[in-house]
Amino acid sequence: MIPVVDIDIKEEEIKAVKEVVKSKFLIEGKHARAFEKKFSDFTEIKYTTTVVNGTCALHLALVALDIGPRDEVITTPYTFIASSNSILFTGSIPVFVDVDKETYNIDPEKIEEKITERTKAIMPVHIFGNPCDMGAIKDIAEDRNLVIIEDCAQGHGASIKGKHVGNFGEIGCFSFYGTKNLIGGEGGAVVTNNKDLNDKIKSIKNHGRSPEGGYAHYSIGFNYRMTDMAAAIMNVQMNRADEILTKRHYNGDKYRKHLNEIEGLMLQKILPSHKHSDYIMAPLVIKKEIRQEQIIEYLKSKNIGSRSIYSILSYQQPAYLDLSKWHLSQVIDYPDYSRTSCPNAEYIATKHFELPMVTSLTDDSIEYIVEKLQEFFRTN
Ligand SMILES: Cc1ncc(COP(=O)(O)O)c(C=O)c1O
């Protein structure tokens, strides 16, 4: 079976973790500091703060921007549930805006109609690593005095006009979860170009302490520290980032070249001057008669790993049917999503299928996958 997901870990990462364990200094320390520097150099964003995972990164960003009860945050329903959950953690309300049918990303043209006097922020998600239309989103945010938190969890290596994602809002949030382009097992980063905001982020992530340490706590913060074991893996991954991302972009380009020619398939549209991170390759079956499960089953029967992800939109999640049941003590008016409708997101949810997109993918494997898809659409 050609796997949908495969983990790119070499001897160097194993050696790095062993050294940290042997040193007995497992907590956040010099490896985390070194990683922060490397990640800032990589993204060309001034300040990086390591955190324990991408969900905490988003939560921390919202708290640092003073978003809380009674506020509303505009986001997309076609994403991993962590995006909107992080909003709920602060007591603010996720307001879902439909996506563009071609890019799968939040449609800037539909944002304006969802802005109310409570709206404080927009959280665009660069889904699958496809950069959102940040120019249009920034224009709206500036015009309506809103802040932007970019969910870059899937965006390592994605850019717009050569600028890495995470550079376009007040804060960018990354995940280094074990299947992402760059991995730490678990791990996350909060990035910003604003020094004051960075100081606040660094303090809140460490129980409101001063970045210099000590036992004075200046705010009620959290423990969102990354371990030095994860940071040590991340440092090796950063040294290998060029190699890893070049291979992913190579795979992505090869898929796009061949799959674009198949009638019945539609690839995620990448806007001009935008560079995809090539984290996930998930085309849509646009032939009406063909069901998502049918193509996934067909690919599996040919030993090609495939699956659907986010077939349940965030507002359709069972957990969101009655939010008052959960421990969201700060939420004041629980939203009722039963009438929320995002037709484009609903379409994509039922029509996409994921293809293998891993660094170990060979030219022969991609050619085999393309051939099998051509065969499928010729005969169905
Ligand atoms: C779009 C998106 N946002 C947020 C997250 C949360 O990151 P983590 O799993 O590291 O908490 C993820 C990933 O897993 C994600 O894909």
Please check whether residues 233 and 245 belong to one and the same domain: no
Residue among 80, 105, 279 to mutate when testing ligand 1 (max atoms within 8 A of CB) = 80
Enumerate the H helices of the chain as residue ranges: 11-23, 30-43, 54-64, 82-89, 134-144, 195-204, 228-239, 241-259, 292-301, 343-351, 363-379
Query: Residue 113 gets which letter from DSSP?
Result: G
Q: Output the pLDDT for position 377.
A: 95
Kindly state whether residues 115 and 101 are assigned to the same domain: yes
How much is the pLDDT for 279?
98
Question: Cβ–Cβ contacts within 10 Å for residue 34, how many?
Answer: 16
Nearest to 33 by CA among 202, 170, 243, 151: 202
CATH number at residue 300: 3.90.1150.10
Within a domain: 177: yes
- Whose CA is closest to atom 14 on ligand 1? 177
With left for phi above 0 and alpha for psi between -120 and 50, is residue 5 left, alpha or beta? beta
Closest CA to 30 of 227, 189, 239, 241: 227
d(CA 232, CA 51): 14
Q: Is the pLDDT of residue 211 over 80?
A: no
Residue 329 has pLDDT above 90, yes or no: no
Residues 108 and 83 in one domain: yes
76, pLDDT greater than 90: yes
Ligand 1 and 224: CB distance under 6 A: no
At 336 the pLDDT is 93
Q: How many domains, the chain? A: 2
- Considering the domain architecture, whether residues 191 and 89 belong to the same structural domain is answered as yes
- Ligand 1 atom nearest 187 alpha carbon: 10
List CB contacts of 117: < 8 A, sequence separation 6 or more. none
Task: Please write the tens of the pLDDT for every residue from 294-325.
Answer: 999 999 999 999 999 999 999 999 999 999 88
2-61 per-position pLDDT tens digit: 999 999 999 999 999 999 999 999 999 999 999 999 999 999 999 999 999 999 999 999
Query: Rounded to the nearest 5°, which phi and psi values hold at 126?
Result: -80, 85
Atom of ligand 1 at shortest range from CA of 176:
10
**Domain closes at, from 195, 223, 240:** 240
Given phi > 0 = left and psi -120 to 50 = alpha, else beta, which region is 211?
A: alpha
Whether the Cβ atoms of residue 49 and residue 189 lie closer than 8 Å to each other: yes
- Confirm or reject: Cβ of 237 under 6 Å from ligand 1: no
Whole-number Å distance between alpha carbons of 374 and 380 = 10
pLDDT, tens digit (0-9, with 9 covering 90-100), for 122-169: 999 999 999 999 999 999 999 999 999 999 999 999 999 999 999 999
Q: At 213, is the pLDDT very low, low, confident or very high (cuts 50, 70, 90)?
A: confident
Residue 47 lies in a domain: yes
Judged by phi (left if over 0) then psi (alpha if -120 to 50, else beta), residue 330 lies in: alpha
Range of the domain at 144: 11-240
Of 240, 274, 299, the position where a domain reaches its end is: 240
Per the domain annotation, does 4 fall within a domain?
Answer: no
Residue 283 falls inside a structural domain? yes
Contact 262, 284 (CB under 8 A): no
Task: Mark whether 352 and 263 lie in a shared domain.
Answer: yes
User: Which ligand 1 atom is at minimum distance from the Cα of 177?
Assistant: 10
Q: Which atom of ligand 1 is nearest to the CA of 186?
A: 10
Select from 5, 84, 123, 177 the residue to mutate for testing ligand 1; criterion: most ligand atoms less than 8 Å from CB.
177
Q: Is residue 316 part of a domain?
A: no
Same domain, 260 and 214: no
Same-domain pairing of 209 and 276: no
Q: Is residue 301 part of a domain?
A: yes
Residue 335's alpha-carbon distances to 96, 153, 320, 326, in angstroms, are 11, 25, 9, 13
CATH number at residue 44: 3.40.640.10
Is 320 inside a domain boundary? Answer: no
In the listed set 212, 240, 268, which residue is the last one of a domain according to the structure?
240
Percent of the chain with pLDDT over 90: 95
Same domain, 150 and 140: yes
Q: Are 228 and 108 in a shared domain?
A: yes
CA 53 to ligand 1 centroid distance, Å: 8
pLDDT at position 307 is 97
Helix, strand, or coil (residue 173): strand
The answer on 194 and 90 residing in a single domain is yes
The reported pTM is 0.98
Tell me if 315 is assigned to some domain.
Answer: no
Residues 128 and 194 in one domain: yes
Instruction: Specify the pLDDT at position 333.
Output: 84
210 and 349 belong to one structural domain: no
For 158-205, how does the pLDDT look when each residue is reduced to its tens digit (9 = 90+)?
999 999 999 999 999 999 999 999 999 999 999 999 999 999 999 999
